[in-house]
Every structure is written in C-alpha cells, then in structure tokens.
Structure 1
Amino acid sequence: MSSNDNDTYVTPLSSRYASKEMSQIFSMRNRFSTWRKLWYNLAKAEQSMGLDIITDEALEQLSKHLIITDEEIEAAKKEEARVRHDVMAHVHVFGETCPAAAGIIHLGATSCFVTDNADLIFLRDAYDILIEKLVNVIDRLSKFALEYKDMPVLGWTHFQPAQLTTVGKRACLWLQELLWDLRNFERARNDIGLRGAKGTTGTQASFLSLFHGDGDKVEELDKRVVKLLGFDRVYPITGQTYSRKIDVDALHPLASLGATCHKMATDIRLLAHLKEIEEPFEKSQIGSSAMAYKRNPMRCERVCSLSRHLGALFQDAFNTASVQWFERTLDDSAIRRISLPEAFLTADILLSTLNNITSGLVVYPKVIEKRIKSELPFMATENIIMAMVERGGSRQECHEEIRVLSHQASAVVKQEGGDNDLIERVKRTEYFKPIWGDLEKLLDPSTFIGRAPSQVEKFVGEDVKEALGKYKGVINDEEVKLSV
C-alpha cells in the first residue's frame, strides 16, 4: 500500500473483508480488460460476417493487448477528464495502443455494448464464486448436523423453553434455508444472458446499416458475439441497456441469503450467550480491550451487520429498475457502479465468514445437559400424568396434583433463585408413589426428541446429498481463515 492510499477512503468491503478473487472481478483492470475483450470479439465476429474493413492485422493487435496496463488506465483517466466520457476515453487509448485497429474499435456499437455486457459477465462470474463457497458452507454444516443428530438440547419458542430437539436438528433448520439459497443462486446464475450487439436503442439499426439491410446477418452477428464470449443466450429485446429488472433478479437471491445468514448468526449469538455453542475463538484472540475474560461472537456479529447491508443494497436494484424511462436514462449509472459490486462483495464476505464459523463450531455438552435438567421436569409432567393413568389414576386428579407441585417448584426457581426441585417434590408426594420407580426413565432426554435424529439422517442423506452431488469437485475441508 502506497502512502497515498492511507490518505484516501477505500471501501472496507474490498480492503478489509472480501476475497481477492471477488475483488478482482469488479476491479478496474478486469472491467476495462473485459471492455477490450468485447471490442475484440465484436470485431472478430464482424470480420467473420464479411466486413473486409476489419483486417487480420487489426485483430492481431487487439488480441495482444486485451489486458490493460497501469499506464493505459492512467492515460484513460486523463482522456476521460478531457472528453467527459469513460467509454470513448478507453476507445481512444486502445486505438493508440493498436493503431491498425483504431478506426474499427467500437464499430456499430453503443457504450452499453461494453458496459452492460461486461456487467453481465461479472454477474455470472461472481455467482460462480459464491456458489462454490455456499456449497462448502452446506457441506460443513451437514457434517456438523450428522455429528450432533442425537444430542438432545432444549428447544426454544419465543425464546422461552420448549420441547427438546437436538443440536443436529437445529442445524438442519439453517441447512434447509441454505439449500434454498443454493437453488436461487443456480437459477439466477443460469438465467444470465448477454445484451449482445443491439445498437443505440436496441433496434440494431447501426448493424443493419453495416450489412446493407441484411437482417439475417445482423441476427447472426449477435449470436456469434455472444458465443465468442462464452454465453449460450442473448436477450432478444433490449433498449439501449439490458432491462434493469435483470439486476433485481440477480440481487434478490443475495438479499435472501442475507436473511438466512442473519438468522443463523443470531441463533449462534444467542447460543453463545447461553454458553451452549460458540463460534471458533482463536488462541490469541482478544474478546474485549477492557474485559479480558470475554469471548465475543465477533464473526456472527459481522455476519448480522453485513446481512443488513446486503438487504438494503437490493433496494437499490429495485428502485433503479422501477424508474427507468423508455429506452434508458442515465440515473442508473452511478448507483449501479456501487450497488452491484458491493452486493457481491458483501455476499462473498458472508459466505467466507460462514465457512470459517461452520468449520469450528464449539459445542458444550455439559452446559446443554445442565439446562435440560433445569427445565425437563416441567416438560415431563405430561409423561408423569400418562404413567399415573396407566396405573389406574385419574387424569384430572393427577393433573391437579402435578399442577400444584409445578407452581411450587417454579416459585423456588423464580422467586428464590433455587434449582428446579419438581421431581424431588414428586418423590416426596405419596400420591405419586406408583411411578417413583419409573421417574428416571420418564426423564430420559432421549425420549423427548421425537424423530429428530432420523429427520437429520434423511434430510442430509437425501436433500443435501442431491443438492451437492454435482459439486464434488469444489468441496474441500481446508480451514478457512479470516484476515481480520
């Protein structure tokens, strides 16, 4: 980092959190190099369609300078300051670098040929990165779910004690939403096409002129450009830009992922407060500058923070698509330069962080067991009633007896700060003598978890396995470290 970088604001998304590969996709070098690849492939397709004004020498020069240099970026900045047009500044600089092609660069095209097509390429490539990271989060979390599928844990509804579930079953609640996110990512990624070669207002008039009114050649040109750029579909109808509704469709799955991440991270934060489960905590990590004993869930807090940002960025796409006028208006430009890269950088950070979290979740069985014991007596009252009825007791009489004892035990817990002594009271109450010998069995936590273990096995063995089947080559068990 140069001294000048310390005097200039740099977004923390790229400088602090996001991965290098995601940052590179939206970098200036990749953006402007992609513009050059678009110009080169347009010229190549035009020559293949019979435009003799595009020479082999021109194509050869273009092909040798597809990756823009630092010097050319600086030259384009100076040219843009002079002409106040970013695309034409780069046309000029590319032409100076490739003099044999200077006269045919951007032939028949409008600025959106490079800006919009490049953005669509970036969206597709960014989704490829996100999908791989999401697949690994799902894989890690599914292994965690299987490992703890049988471990009873107190369930919570309204954050009040509820019937037991298992640690693994709770993880499957997160997993199922992540599977839906993977489905949404795949749909969004595979729906992305290219704007293609459509001209200034999408009518292809300029290209029709180039080919002397031959509409079939214009259509073929569109197909060849798209194929050369590695896509198999082109949007058949555009204005000057591709419809900004496509940005809505691209960012909505990211916002939905943000909701999943926020819910999961919040659950882990609450579990950390309960001391049942914690995110990884490194040996030299400091939890607080003042309170040395603290183990703050900073990774999950980061996830929650950035998830909210991701949800807000979706509104940029929604609002922009809503207010586009006719064939285009330029009030989409500035906001898209911010919201599109930031959305993918933010999603990238979330998934990198979740990969780190799910690779080292810490479970504290003794704490979980202690909390179960403190609440299970109340939950076992129905089992006690049923056992008494089986031995000839009255359901209504038993209900009243256990109700009185339950309120007494509750008063000990809430008013005196003592332990739940309901079972001890049952053992001292002569009415319940017929089931004293059965109390240990009636209080076995494993009898309160229903089909949770088998649900986990079935879900991971079928749904998760099917979803990850085509991604075996990208799944890895490497530790994911965070830079900060």
Structure 2
Amino acid sequence: MAANTKEQGSKAEGSSAFDAYQTSLTTRYCSPAMSKLFSQRSRHSTWRRLWFHLAECEKELGINTITPEAIEQMKAHLVVTDDEFEIARIEEKIRRHDVMAHVHAFGVVAPAAAGIIHLGATSCFVTDNTELILMRDALDLIAKKLAKVISNLSSFAVKWKAEPTLAYTHLQAAQLITVGKRAAQWAQDLMLDLHTIEQVRSELKFRGAQGTTGTQASFLEIFQGDSAKCDELNVLLCKRFDFPGCYDVSTQTYTRKVDLIIANAVAGLGATAQKITGDLRHLATWKEIEEPHESSQIGSSAMAYKVNPMRSERVYSLARELMSKPASFANTLSDQWMERTLDDSAIRRIDIPEMFLLADAILLGLDNISSGLVVYPNRIAFRVQEELPFMITETIIMRMVAQGASRQETHEQIRVISNQAGSVVKNEGKPNDLVSRIQNNEFFKPIWGDIHGMLKADLYIGRSAEIVDKYCGPGGVVEKALAPYAAYIKGSSSAELSV
C-alpha cells in the first residue's frame, strides 16, 4: 500500500525536478532501458496486462459474464496514462490501497469491464506476478550487457596473451604471468556470473492465479468446483506471459526465497566487479594499465597532474552497495510469518529495482572500462626486470648443480647475495644489482655465460599464452558460451558514461 499525498505525487506549482530528491542510479548511473523497466508506468501497465489476460483466460474457460466488449475496452487501455495515474492517486488517498485504486482507474476507462476486473484475484496476483516479469526482463538485460563485457575482456586477453607481467601473491611479486592471462581470469569470473544468472533466469517461474492464501479457493468457486479449470487457467496465463510454469506451492505470495536466489546471483556480479576494478586501481597506481581517460578529463580540482581511476572507483563503489542486497532479501524471507506479512512490501519496492539498477550501472561502467584499457608495455617490462633477477635464482641453482656444485651450498650463496641485493633496493633506493653480484662472484663462474639468456621474461610465463588461447581465442570456451549473444555484441557500441 503506497502512502502518496498530493504533495508527494505531483509537483508543486513553480517547482522543478531539482527541487526534490532523485536517485543517483536513474539520473546519473544506469541505462534508460533499465530505468524505464522499473518505472511506475511500466509496473502499473503490467498490472493492466495481467488483469486483461486474466479476464481473457477466464472467459476462454467459460465465464460468460466477461463480455467481448469488456475484453476490447481493457485491451485498448493497457498503458496507464498520466490522467489515469491521477485518478488512481485520488482514489488511493481515499481507499489507502494502491491495487484497488488502479482497479478503479482501469474501470473508469474500461467501463464494460469495471465489474469483472480482478475477478477471483488477490492483490499479489498483480504485484507478485509483475515483479517476476520485471525481474525476468531485467535478468535478460544484464545478461546481454555482461556478455558484452566478457567479450571485451576476452579480446583484450588475446591481444596481450604473451606480454609478460609480474604476478602477485600476498600483493608481493610472484612468478610471471602475462597481461592477457590476468584478463582471462577476470573474464572467467564474469563467465561464472553469467552462467549463474542464466540458470536463475531459466528456472524462474510464475506465481499465476493462486487466490488469497495459495489454495485457489476463489477460482474453484468461479469454475464451480472444476479443479482442472483452475490448473488450465495457470497454464494459459503462463503461455501469455512466457513462463515455463507456476511455482508448485504458493502462499499469498510466491516464496520470497526466489528473491534471495536472484539477489545472490546478481550480487555475485558485484563481487566480481569489485575484484576487477580493484586490480585495475592497483595497476593504475603502478602505471602499468589505465582505464580510458579523456583528454579534457580533470583528475583533481587541486592536483592538476593527477589521472585518477574514477571509472573503476565508481564501479567499485556501486558494487559495494550491490553486495549488500542479499542480506536484505534474506531478512525479508525469514520474517514472512505463516502465509505472508506486509512488512515485505515497502522494502521490496526499494530493493528489487535498486538491485537491478546497480547491476546495470556496474555493467555500463565495466563495458566502458574494458573497451578502452590502455597498456604501457615498457613500464610493465621495467617492473618485470626489477624483480626478474630474484626469479631466475631457482634456474641458477639447477644449472649450478648440473655443473657439479652442491645444491645446498648454491642455495646458501644465493640467499646471502639476494639479501644483499634486496638491502640495496630497500635501504639505498638503488636498482636491483643481484645479476652483477652473481657475475662478480667466482662461485658462480660456471654459469656466467648463461646469465643474460636467463633474463628474458618470456621464458618464465609458462603456458600463459596457450591458456588464454584455449579460453578466449577463436573456438574457445568464451566464444561458445557467448554464441547466443553474438548479434547483440556485434551490434552494440561501447557504453559511454554520461558523467
């Protein structure tokens, strides 16, 4: 039940959009398509579609009090107009019930149907089924956008599949990987999100026409005790709204467990997005990879030299909020006493749209970032060479042993001069001089001639390029998984961030 007042529901004389709070999600971050999907016109027009098809199906199943004229009038007014919203607003102020207010407004423009609109239904027939329709359509929207981001990262991974770069464990330099392999890991996490979202989408069902507590008692009365017609009604409704079937058991609502399942899938995207943009923020700090940066973009109002990763920071921030949503849905589910309590209503009006608006905004940001990443190979190579002397020490030990040296003695020699070289870097701020220490140490004379050959970074990337090709290359895992989205990906341009 909404709590509109005249002041809340319409603009005061002389006011503008800037005089009332507006959510940043719809005005700044998300796409027009997602914003429109969860608009009041979309929601309440879907209510009308549900009432129309309910009446149409009831008539088809033999309810003769529903006339052809009633059906035609309903069909002609499926989109709620501004004037009809005003009728509903006035009625709701009197009745304190949003569904009945819109039943009245629909009856005003479809008078032949006024007596049969909502026949046998409870409010959740329109509210719950509408939410399922909107969430299904929202899942379709984010799945396509997610596929586009995966495609971007996959192409990036293939382009840079052989570019050696420092890997990090514990955020300390570790054995080399490649720029492309790191991007392939990002893509794989997003692929897992896509799979989860697709699975949740494919398993989503309808509430259908279940009556006030899920027993269909009202419809059993309408159909004079014919249970088969109660089942057939839901079969017809599912066909009209393209659902595979209804949930087997309902209360007054479909179980709020469904909302939690969807939230867990969508919030998983938030965790992945935060991981990716966190990595990019570190890479930007090290000046190895940067997000797109426009020539006139200002990084700081005071520090004019700064190039901040503001797009990644935006996505990171939005992801934090998205990841909080499952807890809210879990609390709503756990508090649904018996067959339903209305304390699920207000919070779900906020949580469901916000969850999808956040996911949409995150994907717009990721699309923009991933389509224009800037790589600095010389900087990456410089940082590799800073650490590579330490990384070749295991190879040095193996080659010394092959020349007849003791493995343990060689290890001790390496340990001592490695610590000396590390001290020079940390305490004196000088370059890593481990190689020159090895070349000036008579113990290592048997492999002096091999040292420079060992300092080629691409010797230490293992199967990185092959791994990328198998996953992201032509005919690889990504290409096969994204086949259903190929036309969308090909036809869509990179997202532009408005501000």
User: Is the contact between residue 41 and residue 229 of structure 1 (CA under 8 Å) also seen in structure 2?
Assistant: no
5 Å-filtered alignment, 1:11-90, equals 11-90=23-102
Counterpart of 1:392 (choices 387, 404, 409) is 404
Aligned mates of 1:106, 1:233 — CA distance in 2: 21
Q: Please tell me the root mean square deviation across aligned C-alpha atoms, in Å.
A: 1.2
User: Is the contact between residue 141 and residue 175 of structure 1 (CA under 8 Å) also seen in structure 2?
Assistant: yes
What fraction of aligned residue pairs are identical, expressed as a percent? 55
Aligned mates of 1:165, 1:144 — CA distance in 2: 15
Q: Deviations over 1:65-118 (max 9, x none)?
A: 001101111221121111100000000011011111111100110000000000
Q: In structure 1, what is the equivalent of residue 470 of structure 2?
A: 458
Counterpart of 2:493 (choices 468, 478, 483) is 478
5 Å-filtered alignment, 1:70-469, equals 70-461=82-473, 462-469=476-483
Q: Which 10-residue stretch deviates more, 26-35 or 166-175?
A: 166-175
User: Is the contact between residue 110 and residue 200 of structure 1 (CA under 8 Å) also seen in structure 2?
Assistant: yes
Aligned mates of 2:415, 2:150 — CA distance in 1: 44
Q: CA deviation at 1:422?
A: 0.7
Aligned mates of 1:402, 1:232 — CA distance in 2: 66
Question: Given residue 311 of structure 2, which amino acid in structure 1 is its aligned partner?
Answer: R
The SS at the match of 1:155 is: strand
Compute the TM-score of the two structures, normalised by the length of structure 1: 0.98
Q: CA deviation at 1:314?
A: 1.4
Question: Given residue 475 of structure 1, which amino acid in structure 2 is its aligned partner?
Answer: I
The SS at the match of 1:411 is: helix
Aligned mates of 2:84, 2:242 — CA distance in 1: 26
How many residue pairs end up in the alignment? 484
Question: Given residue 340 of structure 2, which amino acid in structure 1 is its aligned partner?
Answer: R
User: Is the contact between residue 142 and residue 464 of structure 1 (CA under 8 Å) also seen in structure 2?
Assistant: yes
Q: CA deviation at 1:185?
A: 0.5
Question: Given residue 225 of structure 1, which amino acid in structure 2 is its aligned partner?
Answer: L
Q: Which 10-residue stretch deviates more, 354-363 or 395-404?
A: 395-404
Q: Deviations over 1:185-223 (max 9, x none)?
A: 001111111110111111111111111111111111111
Unaligned runs of 5+ residues in structure 1 are none
The SS at the match of 1:475 is: helix
Question: Given residue 164 of structure 1, which amino acid in structure 2 is its aligned partner?
Answer: L
Q: In structure 1, what is the equivalent of residue 6 of structure 2?
A: none
Aligned mates of 2:205, 2:106 — CA distance in 1: 26
Aligned mates of 1:307, 1:24 — CA distance in 2: 22
The SS at the match of 2:120 is: coil
Question: Given residue 348 of structure 2, which amino acid in structure 1 is its aligned partner?
Answer: R
Compute the TM-score of the two structures, normalised by the length of structure 2: 0.95
Q: Deviations over 1:110-142 (max 9, x none)?
A: 000000000000010000100000000010100
Q: Deviations over 1:283-302 (max 9, x none)?
A: 11111111111111111111
Aligned mates of 2:223, 2:436 — CA distance in 1: 93
Aligned mates of 1:478, 1:226 — CA distance in 2: 35
Q: Deviations over 1:224-276 (max 9, x none)?
A: 12211222211121011110001001111111111111111100000100100
Q: Deviations over 1:395-451 (max 9, x none)?
A: 222222222211111111011110101101111222222212111111111111111
Aligned mates of 1:444, 1:164 — CA distance in 2: 11
The SS at the match of 1:93 is: helix
Q: Which 10-residue stretch deviates more, 362-371 or 72-81?
A: 72-81
Aligned mates of 1:220, 1:407 — CA distance in 2: 79
The SS at the match of 2:422 is: helix
Q: Deviations over 1:131-168 (max 9, x none)?
A: 00000001010000011110000111111111111111
Aligned mates of 1:479, 1:96 — CA distance in 2: 45
Aligned mates of 1:136, 1:447 — CA distance in 2: 33
Q: CA deviation at 1:392?
A: 2.2
